[in-house]
């Protein structure tokens, strides 16, 4: 090859590289909507949002290059229909939603939807849920292996772990005999939650006091529940699944300290707010993993064919600061098993 031909080839390749890059950037920018429900659970914590976005970046999706991310959330139940219409107008390629939003906007089974006020289904757009208790029973999917509709994602075994949480409470307080239980009275899995915890309480020799609080009740209903626990001489508290409880986690933590009622809850965020113990899947990791579902759907996979998966990481979190304020000594063996301890 002579020098002139070599220069011609190199010049062509030099020009081809930028043109190739421009062609890559000229590809369609996909749209992902991160859908919350401020009314149901409050604003989605920033660490969960960032975990999802970082998960997308790790898979090559970069905002402003090949990705547009929009966030939407209804502040009241009445705003849900308008929020759903706004999301549809955005024409997203995929929606990623935490549990309350997934149920409020997902095309769930009619019998499940009948239990939800202001249900505003978004049809024909894939929805990835991040952290849902029993999506089959909730009417979100036909089965874990074959979701069959437009929804899939990661469950978080919230209900299944309630007996384990009661066991941890008993391990922390060996003389425990009476426990107040915050029950989400209008949760679709309410009866199952109570049935499984009652069976665990019997085996542990613990009597339960059920305090029913619906998601539509004012926050003051939680105050009344704590007052009832004090009247009935409860020694500790078990918090069941309920987005409205999560939304009011700081109120619950303050009430627990005020009434000297140590508690065990379903997510580490409760312990960060000041509660004593949480045992749960790592929800931040669940949101990070939800990015993988979004990635597959963006590359052509159907939500109906992507199996629902279980959480990958679980964590036991203990707030030693709260323990000291309540004059509780957490048993060393339990403390040594903790994944995180707040000093």
In a structure prediction context, what are the per-residue pLDDT tens digits for the chain, which is 343 residues long?
444 443 343 344 433 444 443 344 347 899 999 998 887 788 888 999 999 999 999 999 999 999 999 999 988 888 989 999 999 999 999 999 988 888 888 887 555 555 555 568 898 999 999 988 889 988 899 999 999 999 999 998 888 999 999 999 999 999 999 999 999 998 888 999 999 999 999 999 999 999 999 988 999 999 999 999 999 999 999 999 998 999 999 999 999 999 999 999 999 999 999 999 999 999 999 999 999 999 999 999 999 999 999 999 999 999 999 999 999 999 999 999 999 999 9
322/209 same-domain check: yes
Report pLDDT for 101: 86
Quote the tokens at residue 105: 């906007």
202/338 same-domain check: yes
Q: In what order do the strands lie in the sheet with 236-239?
A: 207-213, 178-184, 236-239, 263-265, 277-281, 314-319, 340-342
Structural domain that includes position 250: 162-280+314-342
Quote the tokens at residue 155: 């469950």
| Contacts for 177 with CB less than 8 Å, ≥ 6 apart | 205, 206, 207, 235
pTM: 0.84
In a domain, 21, yes or no: no
In a domain, 190, yes or no: yes
| Domains contained in the chain, number | 2
For residue 278, list its beta bridge partners: 265, 317
In a domain, 177, yes or no: yes
Report pLDDT for 20: 43
Alpha carbons 152 and 209: distance in angstroms, whole number: 36
32/152 same-domain check: yes
232/275 same-domain check: yes
287/276 same-domain check: no
In a domain, 232, yes or no: yes
Q: For strand 94-98 and strand 127-132, is the pairing parallel, antiparallel, or unpaired?
A: parallel
292/191 same-domain check: no
The CATH number that applies at residue 324 is 3.40.50.2300
In a domain, 10, yes or no: no
Q: What are the residue ranges of helices labelled H in the chain?
A: 3-25, 38-41, 46-58, 80-90, 99-105, 110-113, 162-172, 190-204, 220-231, 243-247, 249-258, 268-273, 283-298, 320-325, 332-337
168/86 same-domain check: no
202/334 same-domain check: yes
59/123 same-domain check: yes
Residue 242 DSSP one-character state: -
107/187 same-domain check: no
């Amino acid at each position: 090859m002579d020098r002139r031909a070599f220069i011609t080839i190199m010049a062509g390749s030099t020009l081809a590289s930028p043109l190739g890059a421009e062609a890559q950037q000229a590809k369609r920018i996909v749209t992902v909507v991160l859908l919350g429900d401020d009314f149901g659970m409050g604003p989605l914590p920033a660490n969960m949002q960032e975990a999802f976005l970082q998960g997308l970046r790790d898979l090559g999706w970069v905002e402003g290059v090949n990705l547009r991310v929009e966030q939407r959330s209804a502040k009241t139940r009445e705003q849900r229909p308008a929020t759903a219409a706004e999301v549809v107008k955005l024409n997203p390629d995929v929606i990623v939603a935490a549990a309350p939003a997934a149920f409020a906007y997902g095309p769930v089974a009619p019998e499940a939807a009948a239990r939800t006020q202001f249900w505003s289904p978004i049809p024909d757009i894939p929805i990835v849920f991040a952290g849902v208790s029993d999506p089959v029973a909730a009417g979100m999917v036909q089965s874990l292996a074959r979701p069959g509709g437009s929804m899939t994602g990661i469950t978080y075994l919230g209900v299944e772990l309630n007996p384990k949480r009661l066991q941890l409470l008993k391990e922390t307080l060996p003389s425990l005999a009476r426990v107040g239980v915050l029950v989400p009275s209008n949760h679709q899995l309410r009866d199952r939650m109570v049935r499984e915890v009652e069976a665990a309480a019997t085996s542990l020799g613990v009597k339960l006091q059920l305090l029913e609080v619906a998601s539509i009740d004012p926050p003051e209903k939680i105050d009344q529940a704590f007052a009832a626990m004090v009247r009935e001489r409860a020694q500790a508290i078990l918090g069941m699944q309920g987005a409205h409880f999560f939304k009011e986690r700081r109120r619950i933590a303050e009430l627990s300290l005020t009434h000297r009622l140590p508690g065990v809850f379903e997510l580490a965020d409760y312990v960060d707010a000041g509660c004593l113990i949480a045992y749960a899947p790592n929800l931040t990791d669940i949101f990070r993993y939800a990015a993988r579902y979004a990635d597959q759907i963006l590359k052509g996979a159907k939500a109906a064919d992507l199996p629902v998966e279980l959480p990958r990481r679980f964590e036991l979190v203990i707030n030693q600061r709260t323990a000291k304020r309540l004059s509780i000594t957490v048993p060393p063996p339990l403390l040594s098993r903790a994944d995180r301890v707040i000093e």
